[in-house]
Structure 1
Amino acid sequence: MIPIGFCSLENIPFDIRYATHNNFMGRPIAGYTTNKCIVSNAVRDALILAQEKATKAGYSLIVFEAYRPLKAVEDIVQWSLNTDIQNKERFYPDIDKDTLFDLGYIALRSTHTRGAAVDVTLINPTTKEELDMGTEFDFFGSASHTISEDISASAKTNRHLLLSIMESSGFVNYDKEWWHFTLKDEPFPNTYFDFDIA
């Protein structure tokens, strides 16, 4: 059951990767029983504004991650300590997965778990093709830092557009992940939730 203050996002495309096998762990993560996008009402309202701006620019947002249960973070911690490296080449080729928390790519106390963050990119609304951002979502490395010299000029332009859309809609970017945005005025700044996405 979704608690008061949260909702299921509608009318904005999403593909919640942690509910699928298409993620750095290669399987659905604990707490994700369906591919549904759960956000706080405040995040929904800000995303609607951001989507309007994306549409005016000729694009659409797509959400890859939103609310994240605490049990999912615990699942990721356990994964980071085991020997499974099936997706290392794709998602973390230059670092060891047991350093992902220390390097700041995954947080034990995440703004996702407070219902305040989303991971997004821009797509062509007709073809559904993602704009080139230089790396894919959840690539752990310096090329994913919002300001990076390891990407093309067009990827830099696309990142700047996404950043402009999201920041002007009330979000703040995490500088190590071009896709990660936290609502500036969090509705639950001191609460970490653990309800399932069902």
Structure 2
Amino acid sequence: MRRIRTAPRIPLLAAAALLALAVAPAPAAAHSAPGHSAPGHSAPAHGHGHGDGPEAPREFVALREVAPTIRQEIRYHTPHNFVGEPIDGYREPMCLVTKDTAQALAKAQRSLLKRGYTLKVYDCYRPQRAVDHFVRWAQDLDDEKMKAEFYPRVEKNRLFEDGYIAEKSGHSRGSTVDLTLAELPAAPTRPYVPGEPLTPCYAPKGERFPDNSVDTGTGFDCFDTLAHTDDPRVTGEQRANRHLLKTTLERQGFTNLPEEWWHFTHEPETFPDTYFDFPVERGSLSSHH
């Protein structure tokens, strides 16, 4: 899910619109609460996007405009996440990141396409209001409707203590992404139907919620130690897939969060100390054009 380096009181640790084919720059279509963060400051408004929120700095871009073949399955715009409802601030199913991050992802994608794979992002920039939504949800101990899939072996009253939820996320700085690999050709993942039976995120791939990605041993946003990138229980093809994702991204300047195989930060970060709160929508970039 989300790991974050955040407020001193919180320990560090472990995190639907579908997009079209990799070759088609269609409208964009994912967990994480943590994002490897360090204490910093909130960003001031940079003008206004649809009249009701701060605007993104010019250093932010829509990933689809830089790397149109990268698949996008933005889970927090949908109810298929650990909260069980669309998350505040995700007004459109699209990936926004800093330009340096987008360009690095484009380079990684070109390398993977030659090998028959594509990147698929679940989450990119995350507004502070979304992190606040996670915190409110974590404080409501009676709401466990998604527990059976995303945190079946973790008690909800331990989510803060164990580092799965925190008050700040590195995703809010714009250089962190949650992503995986899919082997081409990859059919779209079917939409989640609220209320459908849930299966643990660490179950065998054929039993988990269907995903067109490669098998990495767990689903995305799995609050479980099995999601640790180098967990020794993950072997064979699953380990090879994690290794391919990690090494490909490391070559382009990304660093993996050890507690989440899907979580990567491009370094040096464009905004290492600033947590933004503009909404995820094209309007946040309106003044850039």
Q: What's the TM-score bracket when you normalise by the shorter of the two chains?
A: over 0.9
1:126 corresponds to 2:180: no
CA deviation vs aligned residue, 1:106-133 (integer Å, no higher than 9, x gap): 3422110000100000001212421000
Q: Which residue, out of 103, 106, 114, partners 2:173? A: 114
Other structure's SS at 2:120 match: strand
Please tell me the root mean square deviation across aligned C-alpha atoms, in Å: 1.2
More helix by share: 1
Offset, 1:53: 1.7
Moved over 6 A (4+): none
1:171 corresponds to 2:229: no
Offset, 1:3: 2.6
Distance 1:167 1:102 in 2: 29
- Is the CA contact (8 Å cut-off) linking 2:138 and 2:165 kept in structure 1? no
Distance 2:164 2:251 in 1: 24
Gaps of 5+ in 1: none
Moved more, 2-11 or 38-47: 2-11
Other structure's SS at 1:113 match: helix
Alignment partner, residue 69 of structure 1:
127
Q: How do residues 72-87 of structure 1 correspond to structure 2 at under 5 angstroms?
A: 72-82=130-140, 83-87=142-146
Distance 2:222 2:134 in 1: 15
Offset, 1:56: 2.2
Question: Normalising by structure 2, what TM-score?
Answer: 0.66
Alignment partner, residue 269 of structure 2:
186
Q: How do residues 9-88 of structure 1 correspond to structure 2 at under 5 angstroms?
A: 9-10=63-64, 11=68, 12-82=70-140, 83-88=142-147
Matching residue's letter, 1:21:
P
- The structure with more radius of gyration: 2
1:149 corresponds to 2:207: no
CA deviation vs aligned residue, 1:80-139 (integer Å, no higher than 9, x gap): 011110110100011122322332233422110000100000001212421000000000
Alignment partner, residue 57 of structure 2:
3
Other structure's SS at 1:154 match: helix
Moved more, 136-145 or 1-10: 1-10
**Per the alignment, do residues 98 and 114 of structure 1 end up closer, same or farther by CA in structure 2, a change over 3 Å counting?**
farther
Moved more, 99-108 or 170-179: 99-108
Matching residue's letter, 1:147:
D
Question: Normalising by structure 1, what TM-score?
Answer: 0.96
Alignment partner, residue 162 of structure 1:
245
Percent of paired sites with the same residue: 42
Distance 2:227 2:165 in 1: 13
Alignment partner, residue 196 of structure 1:
279
Distance 2:162 2:104 in 1: 29
Alignment partner, residue 219 of structure 2:
136
Moved more, 113-122 or 34-43: 34-43
CA deviation vs aligned residue, 1:57-101 (integer Å, no higher than 9, x gap): 220000000000001111100000111101101000111223223
Distance 1:107 1:174 in 2: 15
Distance 1:116 1:163 in 2: 16
Distance 1:107 1:44 in 2: 26
CA deviation vs aligned residue, 1:139-193 (integer Å, no higher than 9, x gap): 0001100011233421011101111111111100000000000012100001100
Residue correspondences, number: 198
